[in-house]
Chains A and B, each alone.
Chain A
Amino acid sequence: GAGVSQSPRYKVAKRGQDVALRCDPISGHVSLFWYQQALGQGPEFLTYFQNEAQLDKSGLPSDRFFAERPEGSVSTLKIQRTQQEDSAVYLCASSDGIGGYTFGSGTRLTVV
């Protein structure tokens, strides 16, 4: 595609619900990153994939957060038993190894 596509754009979850956020990177981009952006703050790193391999997951805040990219293309970020502090914008970015990151528009998650 022309850009990084994320869905849904908005998600409201009741506390304790599981959610799944999808990222469709630019076709052919090897690297894929997930970031969490709290209101009024800069993005914070969650995890990184190179093709299907998750090479760095040091930013995942707890074992409730899980990410996968099984075929080296689309990625899903899953949050189990959501809590209010999980409310944030979740940004996905991809890279071809030359031109740096391209971010998607993000998924705004609100946990009520």
Chain B
Amino acid sequence: GENVEQHPSTLSVQEGDSAVIKCTYSDSASNYFPWYKQELGKGPQLIIDIRSNVGEKKDQRIAVTLNKTAKHFSLHITETQPEDSAVYFCAATTNYNFNKFYFGSGTKLNVKP
């Protein structure tokens, strides 16, 4: 099955700086890669996703890049704010509606004011 690895496990940045979280996957058939933000005591919330037919997607301060050849994808957050502090998970799947997601182990992001 699919194996998703995520780095780093913790990341501390100063407010206003950028944060980058990286994931690798093993199954070349994976074609959908969502990123989730999980705040304490809450379920994961989808923040951005990318499909394998594009290399980059951006939504305001958040962007995701995908390198299919190297089987890795990254989350970029610019101009970080304290409210960005949370645990972020990457995931991969071969069919986003009708199949299981394989999640990374999470990155705890701390944005210091």
A and B are interacting partners: yes
Number of interface residues of B (CB under 8 A): 24
When distances are taken between beta carbons in the complex, the residues of chain B under 8 Å from A56 are 99-100
Number of interface residues of A (CB under 8 A): 27
Q: A42-B106, A44-B103 are in contact. Are A103 and B96 (CB under 8 A)?
A: no
A105→B43 contact, CB < 8 A: yes
Q: A91-B43, A103-B43, A104-B43 are in contact. Are A41 and B97 (CB under 8 A)?
A: no
Total number of residue pairs linking A and B with CB closer than 8 Å: 59
When distances are taken between beta carbons in the complex, the residues of chain B under 8 Å from A55 are 98
When distances are taken between beta carbons in the complex, the residues of chain B under 8 Å from A104 are 43
Write the residues of chain B forming the contact surface with A, with a CB cutoff of 8 angstroms. 4, 6, 34, 36, 41-46, 49, 89, 91, 96-106
Write the residues of chain A forming the contact surface with B, with a CB cutoff of 8 angstroms. 4, 31, 33, 40-45, 48, 50, 55-56, 58-59, 91, 93, 95, 97-98, 100-106
